[in-house]
C-alpha cells in the first residue's frame, strides 16, 4: 500500500500534555539524566487505546507536497471530529482512524513543518491494516466552515498586507531558517489556492504556544484569522529586527576595535621606518639607561648586574615572561635612591625646640637624640642607629618616632610587623616566583626616595614564627650596624647600604623580643602616665585637637579642672591616653548634636554633669576591699593585685587550694610561699600551729584576667601570716618582690611601671626588693613624691614593716622640693605624648 498524501493533525489537550511531560521526566530521572525533549513532535496517549477526550476536536488536514527535492507538510483545510464510528461503517469515506504514534519516530519532514513546542497526534488515511485494533479509533470528520466568507474590502486589504509582509520577511531575513520555511510555503501550489491553506501553513511558524495555535485553528472568522496571523508575523519580524540590530552593533564595535588596532600598528611601523619613534623595547631601555646615569652607582658588582639584566632584556621577546621579569627588576633597580641622602639638621638648639614643641617630658629620649646629633656634628655626618621604644599602648611611641624624624630633617616611614610570619616580607622574594618583589625595607627606601630616612618598625614584639621562617632572624641583618652596610635583599640580590638609616622599633613588652635581636638595640622605656600627667595632656593637646576636628569653640564647650580629673580618675585608668581621647571625642560629639538641634548654646562640663556625656563611672574604685580584713594584702603587677587567703572549714588536713586564673609561675610562687610561711610562723609564735591543722584557700580576684607573675611572693606570705595571726596589714600599703625558701627577697622586673601604678592608685607606702634600688633613679622625682618606699633584703624586714611598728628600716621619703618643682615646671618634666 502506498504512503498517504494527506494527514489529519490534531493537538492534544493541555491536561494530556502535562501528563506526558511528567512521564518523560520520570523516565529520564530513572536513567540519572536531565529531562530532554522528545525526539519527535508526535505524542503517545498516556494509556492504552486512544481517547477523544484527550485531543482537541478541531484540527487541520495537511498535505504532503514536493518542492525543490524536499517533501514539505503544507497546511490544508480545517476539519472537525463529529463522533466515533462503528465497525460496520468502514466504507464511509468520511471515516478516519486515530492511531497511537511511537515515540521514536524521526520523520524530519513532519518535524520541520510543525511547531517545536507542539505535541500532535497524526491522523492517517487510508487505514493501515497492520495496526492492531486496540491501538486505533475510527472517527467521523467534517469541514470546519468559516462563519463569514467573501471578498470584503477589509479581507482583501489584510490579505495584501499579509502577502507583503511575507515577501518582506523572505527578503530581509534570507539567511534565517524562518525565511527559508516561508519561501518553501510560498512555492507550494496550495499557497495560491485559498486563504485558509495559507493561514494554516504560516501560523505554526509564528506561534509562541500550542494554545495560541489551537485558537487560530478554531477561529471561524476569516477577517479575525487574517488579523491574528498578520499580528503574529509582525511580532516575529520585530524580534528578528531587534536581534539583527544587536548583532549589527556588536559587529560595528568589533570592526571599530579591529580598525583601531590595525591603524595603531601601521602608525608604529611608519614612525619606526621614518625614525620618528622607537619600538617599545628601545623606549624602555633608554628610560632605564637614563635613570641609571642619574644615580651614578660606582659599585662594580651592581654595575655588572645592571649590564647583564639590560642584555637579557634586549635578547628577550616582548611577550615572554623573562622579558617582564627583567623589566620589573630593572624598574626596581633604577628607582631605588642609590647614594641619595638628605641633609641632616645639626642645630642642636633647634632640634631641642622641635622635640619640646611636639613632646614635653621624655628627658632620656630627648637627651639621647641631642647627643646623637652632637656626635654626628663632630664627625660631619650622622650615622645609623637602632632605638627600641618600650611602653604600654597609647604612650606615644609612634609619635616620638615622627618627632625625631622632623627634628633631624629626615623622611619618615612606618612599617608594621605585628603578626608578621614570613621572612620574605623582610628579605624579599626570589625572582623565580610569580609576582615577586623586594621586602618592606627596600620598599620603604623606594617610597621615601632617600637612603637615610627614619624607619619606624612598629610592634616588633608581636612578630611570630611559622613554616615560612622566623622574621626575627631576618631582622638581625637589618638592625646590626656591622651587617646592614651590605644588606642583601633576596629580590635585588645585590648589597644595599643601610648603615645611615635610623631605625626606631616599638614594643609593648621587651621580654618577648629574642635576646640576639634585643642586644642590637638601645632600649628606651616610656612608662605609663599618672593622673596629673593625663590631665596635662588633655589640657595641652587633646582638647585643642578635638576642638579643631569638631569645629566647637571654647565658648561653646568648656571643661573645669575637676571634670578632667574625674574623667582621668574614674573613666580612663590606663597607662596611655588613647581612651582619654575617645571619651573627649564622645563629649564633643554629643555637644555637636545638641548645637545642631538647637538644644544648647554653650555648656560647661563639671563633675556633676560629666556622666550625662560619658555614661556611668567605669572604675568606681580600684580598691576591691575598702575595709581591711585579716588575710587580704595588696600587691603590684600590671595592675593592682589583691591576694586573699581564707580558712577552708570543709576540707580536712593541711592543704592549699588556689583559684583566680593563676599561671604556672604564680602557682609555684604560692608553693614556695606556703613552705616558707609555715617555718616563719613558728619563729614568730612557736605556739601557733595554724597551718598544721587547717586547710587554706588562696584566691586572686578578677578571675577573668590571667595572672602569672613571680613578683607576688612576699604578698602571698604576708596574706597567709595575716590570716594565721589575725593581724591587719597597714592601710595604703602595697608590696612587690619574689621570695625564696629561705626568706630572701629577690628583685623583680618592671619596677618603674609598678611605682607609676602605685602613684596612679594613690598608694602611700610601697615595699620593694633592695636589689631594685638602682631602678628608682630612672623614675622622675615628681612621681616618687609623697610615697614612702621601703627597701628590704629578707622577709623578716617585710614583716616588721607591715605588721609591727618597731622596724629599723627607714623609708625613702620624697617630699616636696620647691627648687626642684620650679625646675620641673620650667623644663616641663611632666611626660606626655603628642597627638597630631
Is residue 332 a contact partner of residue 361, using CB atoms and an 8 Å limit? no
Indicate whether 126 pLDDT > 70. Answer: no
239: cell is: 524580534
User: Mean pLDDT: which of 74-83, 90-99, 257-266, 663-672 is highest?
Assistant: 663-672
Indicate whether 227 pLDDT > 70. Answer: yes
Identify whether 661 is a catalytic site residue: no
- Is the pLDDT higher at 22 or at 559? 559
- Is the pLDDT higher at 100 or at 506? 506
Identify whether 399 is a catalytic site residue: no
Model confidence band, residue 45 (pLDDT cutoffs 50, 70, 90): very low
Tell me whether residue 132 is annotated as binding: no
Is residue 197 a contact partner of residue 269, using CB atoms and an 8 Å limit? no
Q: Which of 54, 225, 754, 831 is catalytic?
A: 754
Is residue 139 a contact partner of residue 96, using CB atoms and an 8 Å limit? yes
Tell me whether residue 396 is annotated as binding: yes
Secondary structure letter of residue 10 according to DSSP? E
Tell me whether residue 397 is annotated as binding: yes
Indicate whether 771 pLDDT > 80. Answer: yes
CATH 1.10.3720.10 is right for the domain spanning 632-827: no
Task: Say what the pLDDT of residue 333 is.
Answer: 92
Tell me whether residue 116 is annotated as binding: no
Site of grid cell 494554516? 200
**C-alpha–C-alpha distance, residues 172 and 233, integer Å:** 13
Least confident of 246-260, 361-375, 446-460, 719-733: 361-375
Residue 42 three-state SS: strand
Task: Say what the pLDDT of residue 96 is.
Answer: 52
**C-alpha–C-alpha distance, residues 621 and 627, integer Å:** 13
CATH number for the domain running over 348-525: 3.40.50.300
Q: Which residues pair with 698 in a beta bridge?
A: 645, 658
Model confidence band, residue 226 (pLDDT cutoffs 50, 70, 90): confident
Model confidence band, residue 40 (pLDDT cutoffs 50, 70, 90): very low
Task: Say what the pLDDT of residue 4 is.
Answer: 58
Q: Which of 582, 583, 600 is nearest to 591 (CA)?
A: 600
Indicate whether 209 pLDDT > 60. Answer: yes
Q: Which residues pair with 657 in a beta bridge?
A: 697
Query: How many residues appear in the chain?
Result: 836
Task: Say what the pLDDT of residue 42 is.
Answer: 38
Percent of the chain with pLDDT over 70: 82
CA angle 218, 224, 225 (to 5 degrees): 55
**Topology classification of domain 531-614:** Helicase, Ruva Protein; domain 3 (1.10.8)
CA angle 100, 106, 107 (to 5 degrees): 85
Least confident of 43-47, 698-702, 717-721: 43-47
Task: Say what the pLDDT of residue 564 is.
Answer: 92
Site of grid cell 486563504? 195
Q: Which of 67, 364, 103, 104 is nearest to 189 (CA)?
A: 67
Is residue 508 a contact partner of residue 392, using CB atoms and an 8 Å limit? yes
Average of per-residue pLDDT values in the chain: 80
610: cell is: 560629666
| Number of other CB atoms surrounding residue 253 within 10 Å | 10
Indicate whether 578 pLDDT > 50. Answer: yes
Tell me whether residue 75 is annotated as binding: no
**C-alpha–C-alpha distance, residues 254 and 257, integer Å:** 5
305: cell is: 648586574
Indicate whether 37 pLDDT > 70. Answer: no
Residue 31 three-state SS: coil
Indicate whether 102 pLDDT > 60. Answer: no
**C-alpha–C-alpha distance, residues 135 and 100, integer Å:** 6
Whole-model pTM above 0.75? no
**C-alpha–C-alpha distance, residues 148 and 171, integer Å:** 33
**C-alpha–C-alpha distance, residues 456 and 410, integer Å:** 12
Tell me whether residue 392 is annotated as binding: yes
Q: What are phi and psi of 238, to 5 degrees?
A: -65, -40
Domain residue spans of the chain: 6-143, 280-335, 348-525, 531-614, 632-827
Q: Which of 706, 827, 723, 809 is nearest to 767 (CA)?
A: 809
209: cell is: 504556544
Q: Which of 711, 718, 719, 722 is catalytic?
A: 711
Q: Which of 681, 696, 691 is nearest to 649 (CA)?
A: 696
Amino acid at each position: 500500500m502506498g504512503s498517504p498524501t494527506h494527514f489529519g493533525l490534531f493537538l492534544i489537550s493541555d491536561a494530556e500534555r502535562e501528563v506526558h511531560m511528567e512521564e518523560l521526566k520520570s523516565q529520564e530521572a530513572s536513567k540519572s539524566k536531565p529531562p530532554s525533549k522528545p525526539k519527535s513532535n508526535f505524542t503517545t496517549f498516556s494509556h492504552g487505546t486512544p481517547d477523544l477526550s484527550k485531543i482537541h476536536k478541531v484540527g487541520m488536514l495537511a498535505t504532503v507536497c514536493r518542492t525543490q527535492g524536499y517533501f514539505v507538510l503544507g497546511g490544508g483545510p480545517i476539519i472537525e471530529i463529529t463522533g466515533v464510528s462503528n465497525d460496520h461503517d468502514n466504507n464511509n469515506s468520511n471515516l478516519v482512524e486515530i492511531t497511537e504514534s511511537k515515540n521514536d519516530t524521526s520523520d524530519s519532514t513532519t518535524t520541520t513543518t510543525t511547531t517545536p513546542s507542539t505535541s500532535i497526534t497524526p491522523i492517517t488515511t487510508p487505514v493501515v491494516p497492520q495496526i492492531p485494533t486496540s491501538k486505533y479509533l475510527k472517527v467521523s470528520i467534517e469541514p470546519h466552515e468559516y462563519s463569514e466568507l467573501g471578498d470584503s474590502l477589509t479581507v482583501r486589504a489584510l490579505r495584501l498586507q499579509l502577502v507583503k509582509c511575507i515577501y518582506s520577511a523572505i527578503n530581509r531575513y534570507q539567511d534565517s531558517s524562518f525565511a527559508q520555511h516561508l519561501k518553501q510555503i510560498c512555492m507550494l501550489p496550495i499557497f495560491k489556492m485559498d486563504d485558509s491553506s495559507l493561514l494554516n501553513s504560516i501560523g505554526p511558524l509564528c506561534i509562541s504556544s500550542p494554545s495560541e495555535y489551537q485558537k487560530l485553528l478554531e477561529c471561524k472568522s476569516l477577517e479575525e484569522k487574517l488579523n491574528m496571523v498578520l499580528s503574529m508575523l509582525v511580532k516575529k519580524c520585530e524580534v528578528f529586527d531587534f536581534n539583527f540590530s544587536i548583532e549589527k552593533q556588536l559587529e560595528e564595535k568589533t570592526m571599530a576595535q579591529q580598525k583601531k588596532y590595525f591603524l595603531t600598528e601601521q602608525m608604529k611601523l611608519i614612525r619606526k621606518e621614518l625614525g620618528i619613534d622607537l619600538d617599545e623595547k628601545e623606549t624602555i631601555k633608554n628610560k632605564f639607561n637614563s635613570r641609571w646615569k642619574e644615580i651614578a652607582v660606582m659599585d662594580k658588582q651592581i654595575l655588572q648586574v645592571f649590564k647583564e639584566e639590560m642584555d637579557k632584556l634586549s635578547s628577550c621577546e616582548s611577550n615572554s615572561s623573562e622579558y617582564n621579569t627583567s623589566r620589573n627588576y630593572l624598574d626596581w633597580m633604577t628607582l631605588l635612591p642609590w647614594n641619595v641622602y638628605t641633609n641632616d639638621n645639626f642645630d642642636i638648639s633647634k632640634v631641642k625646640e622641635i622635640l619640646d614643641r611636639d613632646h614635653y617630658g621624655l628627658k632620656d629620649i630627648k637627651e639621647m637624640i641631642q647627643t646623637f646629633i652632637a656626635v654626628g656634628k663632630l664627625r660631619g655626618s650622622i650615622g645609623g642607629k637602632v632605638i627600641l621604644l618600650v611602653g604600654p599602648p597609647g604612650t606615644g611611641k609612634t609619635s616620638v618616632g615622627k618627632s625625631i624624624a622632623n627634628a633631624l630633617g629626615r623622611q619618615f616611614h612606618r612599617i608594621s610587623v605585628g603578626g608578621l610570619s614570613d621572612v620574605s616580607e623582610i628579605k624579599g622574594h626570589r625572582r623565580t616566583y610569580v609576582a615577586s618583589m623586594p621586602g618592606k625595607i627596600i620598599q620603604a627606601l623606594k617610597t621615601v626616595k632617600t637612603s637615610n630616612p627614619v624607619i619606624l618598625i612598629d610592634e616588633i614584639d608581636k612578630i611570630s614564627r611559622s613554616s615560612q621562617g622566623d622574621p626575627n632572624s631576618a631582622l638581625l641583618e637589618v638592625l646590626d650596624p656591622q651587617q646592614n652596610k651590605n644588606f642583601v635583599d633576596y629580590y635585588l640580590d645585590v648589597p644595599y647600604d643601610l648603615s645611615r638609616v635610623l631605625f626606631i622599633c616599638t614594643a609593648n613588652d621587651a621580654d618577648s623580643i629574642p635576646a640576639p635581636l634585643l642586644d642590637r638595640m638601645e632600649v628606651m622605656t616610656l612608662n605609663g602616665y599618672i593622673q596629673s600627667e593625663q590631665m596635662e595632656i588633655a589640657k595641652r593637646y587633646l582638647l585643642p585637637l578635638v576642638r579643631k576636628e569638631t569645629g566647637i569653640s571654647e565658648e561653646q564647650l568648656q571643661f573645669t579642672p575637676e571634670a578632667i580629673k574625674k574623667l582621668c580618675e574614674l573613666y580612663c585608668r590606663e597607662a596611655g591616653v588613647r581612651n582619654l581621647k575617645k571619651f573627649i571625642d564622645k563629649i564633643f560629639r554629643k555637644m555637636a548634636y545638641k548645637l545642631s538641634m538647637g538644644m544648647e548654646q554653650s555648656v560647661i562640663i563639671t563633675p556633676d554633669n560629666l556622666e550625662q556625656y560619658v555614661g556611668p563611672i567605669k572604675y568606681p574604685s580600684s580598691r576591691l576591699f575598702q575595709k581591711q580584713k585579716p588575710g587580704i594584702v595588696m600587691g603590684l603587677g600590671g595592675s593592682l593585685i589583691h591576694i586573699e587567703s581564707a580558712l577552708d572549714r570543709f576540707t580536712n588536713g593541711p592543704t592549699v587550694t588556689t583559684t583566680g586564673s593563676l599561671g604556672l609561675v604564680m602557682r609555684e610562687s604560692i608553693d614556695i610561699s606556703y613552705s616558707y610561711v609555715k617555718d616563719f610562723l613558728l619563729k614568730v609564735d612557736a605556739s601557733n600551729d595554724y597551718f598544721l591543722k587547717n586547710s587554706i584557700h588562696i584566691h586572686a580576684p578578677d578571675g577573668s584576667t590571667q595572672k602569672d607573675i613571680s613578683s607576688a611572693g612576699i604578698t602571698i606570705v604576708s596574706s597567709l601570716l595575716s590570716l594565721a595571726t589575725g593581724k591587719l596589714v597597714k592601710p595604703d600599703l602595697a608590696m612587690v618582690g619574689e621570695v625564696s625558701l629561705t626568706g630572701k627577697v629577690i628583685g623583680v622586673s618592671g619596677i618603674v611601671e609598678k611605682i607609676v601604678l602605685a602613684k596612679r592608685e594613690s598608694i602611700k607606702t610601697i615595699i620593694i626588693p633592695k636589689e631594685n634600688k638602682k631602678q628608682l633613679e630612672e623614675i622622675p622625682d615628681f612621681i616618687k613624691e609623697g610615697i614612702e618606699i621601703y627597701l628590704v633584703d629578707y622577709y623578716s624586714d617585710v614583716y616588721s614593716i607591715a605588721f609591727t611598728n618597731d622596724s629599723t628600716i627607714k623609708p625613702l621619703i620624697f617630699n616636696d622640693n620647691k627648687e626642684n618643682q620650679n625646675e620641673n615646671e620650667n623644663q616641663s618634666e611632666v611626660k606626655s605624648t603628642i597627638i597630631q
